[in-house]
Amino acid sequence: MLYLRLMLKGFLLAVLLVLLGFGYMAWGIARYAAEPATQPADAALVLGAAAWGSKPSPVLRERINHAVTLYKQGRVRWIVFTGGTPEPGYPTEADVGREFALRQGVPMTAMLAENESRTTWQNLENAHKLAAPFGIRSFLLVSDPLHMRRAVLMAHDLDMVAAPAPTESSRYVSWSNKVKFLVRETWLYVGYRVFRKLS
């Protein structure tokens, strides 16, 4: 009986430590999201989000708008859009983003589209390769605020010169949506940290 009680206490302590560690990671992600970069870069790199046919989803639209703002402010000379399509025959996320930005006055000659990627890692890796021949060496990563810490970590692992440029508005406005997104991002961030140490 004593042994079982000790086992239970040990288990509960382990669970508590895991929860504390998870909470600390989540706090770090939320805090990082509030610290956007202020320096200029060669390009704004828009991380992919869903497109609804030929129109951007609300999440993608906010990312496009922020990249266009950075371009018009003179903080970047290029915008690199990323993201493929989950269904053959539909426009890619990158092409939808580029067309939306074109209608806002960004010239086609100042934009690149990477049309194959489906994950954040692929967004970054493919865009890095696509941009290199154009002399693009530094990036402001454009995505939702809570996505920033994982995206920047991945970019640095790919030897990219990258800094966070989180959107100033997001569809994740309610507390319930923010909490869900934060929990998801924390799991993905922890998983990536573990994976990169094991690989």
177 or 104, which is more confident: 104
- Is the pLDDT assigned to residue 13 strictly greater than 80? no
pLDDT tens for each residue of 16-58: 666 665 565 666 667 776 667 778 999 999 999 999 999 999 9
Q: For residue 32, report the phi and psi dihedrals to the nearest 5 degrees.
A: -60, -35
Determine the average pLDDT of the residues in 135-141: 98
pLDDT tens for each residue of 175-186: 566 677 777 787
State residue 196's pLDDT score: 72
Q: Is residue 157 situated within a structural domain?
A: yes
Q: Is residue 158 situated within a structural domain?
A: yes
What is the reported pTM?
0.83
Q: Is residue 108 situated within a structural domain?
A: yes
Q: Is residue 179 situated within a structural domain?
A: no
State residue 199's pLDDT score: 42
State residue 182's pLDDT score: 74
Taking the C-alpha atoms of residue 182 and residue 31, their distance in angstroms, rounded to an integer, is 11
Q: Count, in order, helices (H) and strands (E) of the chain.
A: 6, 7
Q: Is residue 184 situated within a structural domain?
A: no
| Residue partners of 117: CB distance under 8 A and separation at least 6 | 48, 82, 83, 84, 123, 125, 126, 127
| CATH, residue 76 | 3.40.50.620
* Domain, as residue range, for 82: 35-169
Instruction: Indicate the number of domains in the chain.
Output: 1
Q: For residue 148, report the phi and psi dihedrals to the nearest 5 degrees.
A: -65, -45
Q: Is residue 181 situated within a structural domain?
A: no
Instruction: Give residue 129's identity as a one-letter amino acid code.
Output: K
